[in-house]
């Protein structure tokens, strides 16, 4: 169904001209000679996707009309048309809450472009609001972002496992958020009031890791000047999270297995057994089953760990979650840096979704942090995206090239990308320039060089 536009103007000629222009590009128009009539139709529940209204009208003027609409439809795109094309008129329109403004006499090409841009921004804004609602819900696990089928399946299993004493093995690539899942399991368990103790087994040398896990008695080794309580003991009553458990030495694997079976530990250099009561959640980015086959990991410990297995898919396998992460990180870094970045341009989101993200969510988080920090406006554009992430994006409906790669001149590649993008936007050059991340004048100049634009067209741009 085409977008429905309310067009309000008391001038019959102007109203008819704008109506015909917008209908020619596929919109459904509802023209009104007065703001009062348009408000009545809104009150009756008529569908509307955007409003274009003149400012100077008898009775209710455009500013009053805008305020009335904003009271009930705060996110509805609203464009004001004024006969006074000066800075004061523009400022007044925007201060009143208009999304954009046009000056009379209205250039019809500009009208089409401005309406289309506001409708596209509304789609993105609506998606952002839906994403925020999903974030607030968080599927019952605070801090976990994701609404893809794979993540919903994971969270469903996690919800079932959380209130139990069962050992959990979390499997996933680096940067997928394994510790977040482990923390969520703890927070949604009967042990939530107890400690959540986390350690990365791969970040600590083996000879030190034993002391970190089990603690030691005074004088147990050179430098042990006093008794130290280990992390396993500290986790009593709560959850112990062992990240990268595959890095445990064979000796420590044996000792951990014994603790899981007997629920006692002995500090390094100690002589007495100390009872411990903790829930173990382990994580790895390795294929532990393969490591067992290679003799690098104990089979009995592997079976003891995988009572419940939760596998977090990499970001490239759940691209539908990427907009949710983008919005989440935008809000996070807006607060941290005191910025007001409201969103990202659709072209940026398309490019982000088509990257492979080998570093997963952690890598995406770092990129969004950089873009928010260095952004120059309220919307992140392609120019804000780090260069290494700006690979050309395949446009919908454009056939891919042959799998046989041939070297080509950069100028030829640029020409093809520009012409395909203009074709993709059905000749809407302002939108094509935004998708390409270049200025409209630059695009016009390039098209003139390619012989794809006449001087008259250039003046209309």
Average pLDDT, integer, range 5-31: 94
| Cβ atoms within 10 Å of 416's Cβ, excluding its own | 13
Number of domains in the chain: 4
Q: What is the DSSP string of 438-456?
A: S-HHHHHHHHHHTT---HH
| Residues 332, 193 share a domain | no
| Residues 336, 213 share a domain | no
Average pLDDT, integer, range 435-439: 76
| Cα gap 261→372, rounded to integer Å | 49
| Residues 264, 151 share a domain | yes
Range of the domain at 333: 318-389
Does residue 285 sit within a domain?
yes
Does residue 424 sit within a domain?
yes
3-state secondary structure of 20: helix
Instruction: Find the range with the poorest average confidence among 78-82, 140-144, 175-179, 214-218.
Output: 140-144
| Cα gap 309→286, rounded to integer Å | 13
pLDDT band, residue 294 (cuts 50/70/90): very high
Question: Closest by alpha carbon to 318, among 283, 360, 284, 347?
Answer: 360
Residue 184, burial from CB neighbour count under 10 angstroms (0-12, 13-18, 19+): buried
Alpha helices in 264-345 (DSSP H): 288-293, 299-305, 322-337
Average pLDDT, integer, range 455-460: 43
Mean pLDDT (the chain) is 85
Q: What is the pLDDT of residue 393?
A: 44
Does residue 400 sit within a domain?
no
| Residues 309, 224 share a domain | yes
Does residue 246 sit within a domain?
yes
Asked if pLDDT for residue 457 goes beyond 90, the answer is no
Q: What is the pLDDT of residue 129?
A: 61
pLDDT single digits (tens) 229-254: 899 999 999 999 999 999 999 999 99
- What pTM was estimated for this model as a whole? 0.56
Does residue 199 sit within a domain?
yes
Asked if pLDDT for residue 427 goes beyond 70, the answer is yes
93-97 contacts: CB < 8 A, separation 24 or more? 93/55, 96/63, 96/66, 96/67, 97/66, 97/67, 97/70
């Amino acid at each position: 169904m085409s977008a429905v536009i309310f067009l309000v103007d008391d001038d019959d000629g102007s109203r008819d001209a704008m109506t015909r222009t917008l209908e020619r590009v596929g919109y459904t128009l509802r023209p009104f000679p007065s703001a009062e009539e348009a408000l009545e139709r809104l009150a009756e529940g008529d569908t509307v996707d955007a409003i274009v209204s003149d400012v100077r009208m008898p009775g209710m003027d455009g500013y009053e009309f805008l305020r009335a609409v904003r009271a009930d439809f705060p996110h509805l795109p609203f464009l004001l048309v004024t006969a006074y094309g000066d800075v004061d008129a523009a400022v007044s329109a925007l201060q009143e809450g208009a999304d954009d403004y046009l000056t009379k006499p209205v250039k019809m090409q500009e009208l089409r472009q401005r309406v289309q841009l506001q409708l596209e921004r509304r789609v993105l804004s609506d998606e952002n609001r839906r994403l925020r609602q999903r974030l607030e819900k968080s599927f019952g696990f605070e801090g976990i972002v994701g609404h893809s089928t794979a993540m919903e399946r994971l969270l469903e299993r996690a919800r079932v496992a959380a209130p139990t004493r069962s050992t959990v093995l979390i499997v996933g690539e680096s940067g997928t958020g394994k510790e977040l899942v482990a923390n969520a399991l703890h927070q949604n368990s009967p042990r939530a009031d107890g400690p959540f103790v986390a350690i990365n087994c791969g970040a600590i040398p083996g000879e030190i890791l034993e002391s970190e896990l089990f603690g030691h008695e005074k004088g147990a080794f050179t430098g042990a000047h006093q008794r130290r309580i280990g992390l396993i003991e500290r986790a009593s009553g709560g959850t112990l999270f062992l990240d990268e458990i595959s890095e445990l030495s064979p000796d420590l694997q044996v000792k951990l297995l014994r603790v899981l079976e007997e629920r006692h530990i002995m500090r390094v250099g100690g002589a007495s057994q100390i009872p411990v009561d903790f829930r173990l959640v382990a994580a790895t980015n390795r294929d532990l089953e393969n490591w067992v086959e290679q003799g690098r990991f104990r089979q009995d410990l592997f079976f003891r760990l995988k009572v419940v297995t939760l596998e977090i898919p990499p970001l490239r396998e759940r691209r539908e979650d990427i907009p949710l992460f983008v919005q989440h990180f935008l809000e996070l870094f807006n607060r941290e840096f005191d910025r007001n970045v409201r969103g990202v341009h659709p072209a940026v989101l398309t490019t982000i979704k088509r990257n492979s993200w080998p570093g997963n969510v952690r890598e995406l988080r770092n990129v969004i942090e950089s873009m928010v920090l260095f952004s120059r406006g309220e919307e992140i554009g392609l120019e804000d995206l780090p260069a290494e992430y700006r690979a050309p994006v395949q446009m919908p409906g454009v056939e891919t090239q042959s799998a046989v790669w041939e070297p080509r001149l950069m100028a030829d590649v640029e020409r093809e990308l520009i012409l395909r993008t203009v074709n993709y936007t059905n000749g809407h050059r302002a939108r094509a320039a935004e998708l390409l991340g270049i200025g409209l004048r630059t695009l016009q100049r390039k098209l003139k060089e390619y012989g794809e634009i006449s001087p008259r067209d250039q003046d209309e741009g």
